[in-house]
Structure 1
Amino acid sequence: MKSYYKYICAAILAISCASCKKYLDVTPENVGTIDYAFRNRNEAENYLFSCYATLQQFVYLENNVGFTTSAEVVFPNNVTDFRGLDPVGFNLIRGTQNTGNVGLNFWDGTNGGQAMFKALRRCNTMLENIDKPVDLTLDEKKRWIAEVKFLKAYYHYYLFRLYGPIPITDVNLPINSPEEAVKVKRAPVDSVVNYMVRLLDEAAPDLPVAIQNQAKELGRITKPIALSVKAEILATAASPLFNGNPDYISLKNKDGKALFNATYDATKWDKAATAALEAITVCEANGVKLHTFIPPGNIPSLNDSLKLELTLQTAITEKWEINTELIWALNPTFGRQGFCTPRFTALSVVNAFSNPGTFAIPIAEQELFYTNKGVPINEDKTWDYTNRYTIQAGDEANRYYIKQSYETVKAHFNREPRFYADVAFDGGIWFGNGIYNPESPFYVQGRGPSSFAGPHDNVNINITGYWPKKLVNYQSVYDDGFQAVDFHIPLIRLTGLYLLYAEALNEQGKPFAQVIPYIDRVRTRAGIPGVVEAWNNYSRNPNKYTTKDGLRQIIHQERRIELAFEGQAGWDLRRWKETQSVLSQPIQGWTVSEEQSLNYYRPRTVITPVFNVRNYLWPISDDALLHNSNLVQNTGW
């Protein structure tokens, strides 16, 4: 519809990427008329880049609701704009959200949120004009159409997870449309889901199963990505937040049309299971498999413990081109490694701008990780849960995880490998940062103000005493300045897909013997016993996995551990309606200003969260409601 836009926006937000030669590294600037933008293949390809542009902005985890509202990582509350990072997303769990000033507003594109409806209009413009370039081949045209349909589905999905029922933006309205046509209404949940799935079903056949020219096209959408997102969408639609949720029975459009189904529909899990299995099948058929660390030449020998730890770490930080389990990641590289890194040397304190270390893991999050027997710490009958905060010195048996003779707490001993791979703690070993001798690595010294604050800091930077080690490449060096070895934050990994399928099978009511093998694929790679072995031999509740409810708890905890700090847990907690229980307790850390271990290891409250039922769905801003009288506000706002 040529009349909808006479001119495109003069410049689309630049994307930060690793290499200027890679696909999606740049977006068109100073684009003229639509006819000019689609006059030939090259110009049309530039417009295709602009359809991807909003997607690439999701690389900033501080603007990802799934990351900042999960209580996996918290941020100091006495800073406003910290070294280029706006903490508005982190502050949401403090109850800052309101309809007059919506934090991470993806509806209007303000306060850290991307303008999703503008992104959808760009996609529609692309589809409306795709026939204009005469030098575009048929195969290219089919692929580009499929990519844009995927992007439309994903942008709708992002809005759907936040706001629930949303207006479906299928076509652009002509600029001369009557006022009532522009005042769009929200579509019911099932209509939105069906629309997103239809787009993905249309897109998948025309997408490549893998990127062949990685140097040029890495980051473009593939068939495995589309099928995996379809499985996610259907699992989200089948989950308690959207499937027969009684909290939203009264949410209706102004014409009385109900936006939520009041009745639970078990067949939605059937659809999710089918989609997840299809995604797994296609992924595995095209070379996707669990990652294993292969030591480079500068690390001549590693013990089995460190090999496993590095396998788990590099499942996230390995180069995209050779990471076999990475189904989808964002094209820009992760730029917040310094926020996840402790300060190891005097130079790193003096030059603390490069590694402020501000991303802090609460005590409750680190306690989510299993013991080395593969069961929760409060279930393991061989683990001293009651005395977990008593002081214990590092010993020979744990020297690859905890500094020998260093005083820490018992809670840090005899934990699963993912704990040591993902979490940095006082006394914990840090392999890397330029030191690759396993017998003389760095270790974290997290006590006292000098360990946290540099000469330009007036706050204790890490407010809990734990860092998300998982989000730092072991090859990155933070010292006098910094030399970060970049990586791409995953959006979907094969382990997440396995656990999603296990969840769908369990919700279908399948026997545990059919469900557990997909959980055990993840657990085996993580170096812990399978579910049956672990619960039978070590749990105080050995029959837990034999019931649907018990196995549900196991799957949920497994997903929260395996996908920790990847921007996924917050979305899962929302769709499960478990966020309220997670945020019902004060968020605690250690007394980080103290230097003596007995004083340091005293839990203290760092945040008192504010969350109730209304917070499961984002509010629509007062301004949006004022301009569109057909919109209705989400329940409770």
Structure 2
Amino acid sequence: MKKSIAYILSSAFFFISCNKFLDVVPREFHQEEDLFTDIQQAEKEIAVLYSRLPWDHNAGDGSNGMILAAGSDEAYHNWDQSNARLYEQGAWNPISNPLGNYNAMYENIRIAWHFLENIDKVPVLEERIREQYETVVIPRYKNEVKFLLAFYYFELFKRYGPVPIVDRYYQVSEINELLQKDRRPVDELVQFITTLCDEAASGLPLSYDDDPNEIGRATKGAALALKAKTLLYAASPLFNGGEVDGQPVSVNGQNVKSTLLGVKNSDGTPLFNPQYDANKWKLAADAAMDVINLGIYNLHPVQQELFYKRNLTEVIWHKQGGSYNAGAWDRQLMPNGTDMGGSGALSMTNAMINSYEMDNGLPIDDPLSGYVDNAWVDTTMRVFRDRTWKTANVRIRSMYHHRDPRFYTDVYFNGMPLLHRNVITEFVTNVGSNNDGWGSKTGQNTRTGYYVQKWVDPTQNPKDRPNTNMRNFPIYRLADVYLWYAEAMNEFLPSPNSAVYFYINEVRNRVNMPALPISGRVEDATKQGMRQRIRNERKIELSMEGHRFFDTRRWLIAHTPECTELMGLNINGSGENFYTPVPVRSGARVFNSYHYLMPLPTVEITKAPGVLVQNFGWER
């Protein structure tokens, strides 16, 4: 007699504390065997794996859709009910970690192995498609699932560092053997992921241009991009000796080599690399170049459009999105004036604002940049108004004049034109509902004087015939790969070469930012100076895409004042007083050394005492 999957799982849960890892069957099935009665049933397992891809900046997910941005120095979540407060206040822990995905990823991993070990047994009942499936489709499916298996392991790696490697499908009866799997060292895990990527890439197509219905599935480019990103992380200070320019990094007065990177398995096996290996940067650069050399991707001419239109030229791989009405997506980010219908979920921080260079290519703190913060400028700006693009006359603060063009597509700031009026984030009480700041209401408005514009369609008006946009979330895109290569080669070489400049400049040229090095700027000719340039370029180009949270961790800079400062404008002031920088809440995020890696869930460690060791600082 067959036992239902529900019965099996209920028994397993008794022994493994409700671990979802054993649940591989889509909800519409009752037994695992049902999945392999026909290929069309088995395909649903792949669909489950694709459906669980992350969307790291989902404005449609209410208060918890943008935690990665609000948990870094990019933004501040205006809604107190958001779980972003846990990361801002350092209050997350092994039991309460909304960004943790340990159990979910291992559930996906088990689904992947279940598919790989059974798919060749599945009959293709429809004779018309049998040959095509057996010779083309099923082999491709196996490579897709290998890629997805590698992807979900990387999602664990970037959060927890070393994790157990589950390298086959485990039956419920084998749970005791499974629980004896310990964490594997960084190099072993990286090798496991990259080997899967190589295997997948060898059998995946370059594209699905010949069958648009398949767009969104894994491709050769996606597999090579995942390999490159994994190697980039493996080369970064957090996973590569904990040092920069030959000097160990200290956090809270403690050398990370003996704290974060000092964790060992119970048998004494080191989990992290205590010694720096420069060649890891070269491996990462070569892998990024493998993606570039495919020659099938191009930067989209209008960077802003990547985030409200579907793009298949720059985006290498994406999570397939659906149709999003302006009332369900754009309004979450648009300023909170009720006449526009915005909800204003995110405030951009002063630290982020100050990272946008001047349009002459110089940082605002460079004496030659021309940056002025205490004057007014009469100028013009483009705006979609009365259902057409127009040029509007505006009077704005001088600190917003002549900035990187991405500033004007990423940020809503006081005085800029938007739809039928200008944005008002300073404290005014005589404009009624036309008020995007605190003014006569305190609600959930901007706490910094800024809102986040990126991901918003500039033509959308939630209250006036809102359109529906088809959005995808870009997981890998060419601009990111260019910056991987520039970063990896800059770190590998004693000083930047022409290729380092070429690939960062490809990204800058797209938005008409001056090429590097800037004439006369000595720092741009040095390894250390270009490191800051590349890191800042990533901060701007990839803002609000879920990268900064992890970048600052792999670079071991998340604890520095640069990243923990939490400042904004004086939202309770108007006129000149409004532009005075003031602390938001305490003025700083709480970031301790142990926050660099996420804690393994306590329940996982207690299942097999002495097998899984906890990350540094979370043992308490």
Q: TM-score range by the shorter chain?
A: 0.7 to 0.9
Kindly state the Cα deviation for residue 576 of structure 1 after the two structures are TM-superposed. Answer: 1.0
Q: Rate the CA distance shift 1:634–1:583 in 2: closer, same or farther, 3 A.
A: farther
Paired with 2:447 and 2:8, the residues of 1 have a C-alpha distance of 45
The reply on whether 1:273 has 2:285 as its aligned counterpart is yes
Q: Which residue of 2 aligns with 1:613?
A: 593
The reply on whether 1:72 has 2:64 as its aligned counterpart is no
Give the residue type in structure 1 aligned to 2:237.
Answer: P
Counterpart selection for 2:486 from 471, 491, 502: 502
Give the residue type in structure 1 aligned to 2:219.
Answer: T
Q: Which residue of 2 aligns with 1:107?
A: 102
Q: Rate the CA distance shift 1:585–1:117 in 2: closer, same or farther, 3 A.
A: closer
Paired with 1:291 and 1:543, the residues of 2 have a C-alpha distance of 32
Kindly state the Cα deviation for residue 9 of structure 1 after the two structures are TM-superposed. Answer: 8.3
1:244-301 residue CA offsets vs partner (Å, 9 max, x unmatched): 121434201111111011101111111101100001111x2x2x11112xxxxxxxxx
Q: Which residue of 2 aligns with 1:379?
A: 366
Counterpart selection for 1:517 from 502, 508, 511: 502
Counterpart selection for 2:332 from 339, 353, 359: 339
1:604-626 residue CA offsets vs partner (Å, 9 max, x unmatched): 21143000221110012222222
Paired with 1:454 and 1:405, the residues of 2 have a C-alpha distance of 22
The reply on whether 1:289 has 2:291 as its aligned counterpart is no
> Conserved in 1, the CA contact under 8 Å of 2:190 and 2:230?
yes
Kindly state the Cα deviation for residue 145 of structure 1 after the two structures are TM-superposed. Answer: 0.6
Q: Which residue of 1 aligns with 2:230?
A: 233
Paired with 1:588 and 1:556, the residues of 2 have a C-alpha distance of 21
- Give the gaps of 5 or more residues in structure 2: 11-24, 125-132, 243-256, 384-389
1:329-359 residue CA offsets vs partner (Å, 9 max, x unmatched): 2112476422211256x633xxx4xx20121
Paired with 2:188 and 2:4, the residues of 1 have a C-alpha distance of 25
1:583-632 residue CA offsets vs partner (Å, 9 max, x unmatched): 664311122244x3223222221143000221110012222222231111
Kindly state the Cα deviation for residue 63 of structure 1 after the two structures are TM-superposed. Answer: 5.3
2:69 is paired with a residue of what secondary structure?
helix
The reply on whether 1:260 has 2:243 as its aligned counterpart is no
Q: Which residue of 2 aligns with 1:308?
A: none
> Conserved in 1, the CA contact under 8 Å of 2:308 and 2:471?
yes
1:390-401 to 2 correspondence within 5 Å?
390-395=374-379
1:491 is paired with a residue of what secondary structure?
strand
1:122 is paired with a residue of what secondary structure?
helix
Q: Rate the CA distance shift 1:75–1:486 in 2: closer, same or farther, 3 A.
A: same
Paired with 1:584 and 1:59, the residues of 2 have a C-alpha distance of 19
Q: Which residue of 1 aligns with 2:393?
A: 404
Give the residue type in structure 2 aligned to 1:507.
Answer: E
Kindly state the Cα deviation for residue 104 of structure 1 after the two structures are TM-superposed. Answer: 2.2
Give the residue type in structure 1 aligned to 2:102.
Answer: W
Counterpart selection for 1:36 from 34, 37, 53: 34
> Conserved in 2, the CA contact under 8 Å of 1:373 and 1:529?
yes
Kindly state the Cα deviation for residue 571 of structure 1 after the two structures are TM-superposed. Answer: 1.7
> Conserved in 2, the CA contact under 8 Å of 1:328 and 1:491?
yes
Paired with 1:102 and 1:319, the residues of 2 have a C-alpha distance of 32
Q: Rate the CA distance shift 1:560–1:165 in 2: closer, same or farther, 3 A.
A: same
> Conserved in 2, the CA contact under 8 Å of 1:92 and 1:103?
no
Q: Which residue of 1 aligns with 2:21?
A: none
> Conserved in 2, the CA contact under 8 Å of 1:620 and 1:634?
yes
Q: Which residue of 2 aligns with 1:556?
A: 535
> Conserved in 2, the CA contact under 8 Å of 1:403 and 1:443?
no
Counterpart selection for 1:489 from 457, 463, 473: 473
> Conserved in 2, the CA contact under 8 Å of 1:165 and 1:186?
yes
Paired with 2:116 and 2:45, the residues of 1 have a C-alpha distance of 11
Paired with 2:114 and 2:440, the residues of 1 have a C-alpha distance of 48
Paired with 2:470 and 2:580, the residues of 1 have a C-alpha distance of 36
Q: Which residue of 2 aligns with 1:166?
A: 163
Q: Rate the CA distance shift 1:592–1:168 in 2: closer, same or farther, 3 A.
A: same
> Conserved in 1, the CA contact under 8 Å of 2:357 and 2:363?
yes
1:347 is paired with a residue of what secondary structure?
coil
1:21-32 to 2 correspondence within 5 Å?
28-32=26-30
Counterpart selection for 2:605 from 610, 618, 625: 625
Q: Which residue of 2 aligns with 1:16?
A: none
Give the residue type in structure 2 aligned to 1:522.
Answer: V
Paired with 1:424 and 1:559, the residues of 2 have a C-alpha distance of 20
1:593-608 to 2 correspondence within 5 Å?
593-594=572-573, 596-607=574-585, 608=588
Counterpart selection for 1:93 from 88, 91, 96: 88
> Conserved in 2, the CA contact under 8 Å of 1:270 and 1:504?
yes
> Conserved in 2, the CA contact under 8 Å of 1:153 and 1:197?
yes
Normalised by the length of structure 1, the TM-score is: 0.81
- Give the gaps of 5 or more residues in structure 1: 11-26, 81-86, 109-114, 293-310, 434-440
Kindly state the Cα deviation for residue 105 of structure 1 after the two structures are TM-superposed. Answer: 2.4
Q: Rate the CA distance shift 1:56–1:241 in 2: closer, same or farther, 3 A.
A: closer
2:190 is paired with a residue of what secondary structure?
helix
Counterpart selection for 1:531 from 516, 521, 541: 516
> Conserved in 2, the CA contact under 8 Å of 1:228 and 1:497?
yes
> Conserved in 1, the CA contact under 8 Å of 2:266 and 2:613?
yes
Compare 568-577 and 235-244 and name the one that shifted more: 568-577
1:541-576 residue CA offsets vs partner (Å, 9 max, x unmatched): x11121111111111111111111111122211111
Give the residue type in structure 2 aligned to 1:572.
Answer: D
Q: Rate the CA distance shift 1:178–1:366 in 2: closer, same or farther, 3 A.
A: closer
More strand by share: 2
Report sequence identity in percent: 31
Q: Rate the CA distance shift 1:368–1:176 in 2: closer, same or farther, 3 A.
A: same
Q: Which residue of 2 aligns with 1:422?
A: 410
> Conserved in 2, the CA contact under 8 Å of 1:3 and 1:175?
no
Kindly state the Cα deviation for residue 442 of structure 1 after the two structures are TM-superposed. Answer: 4.5
The reply on whether 1:359 has 2:346 as its aligned counterpart is yes
1:329 is paired with a residue of what secondary structure?
strand
Q: Which residue of 2 aligns with 1:438?
A: none
> Conserved in 1, the CA contact under 8 Å of 2:594 and 2:616?
yes
Give the residue type in structure 2 aligned to 1:339.
Answer: Q
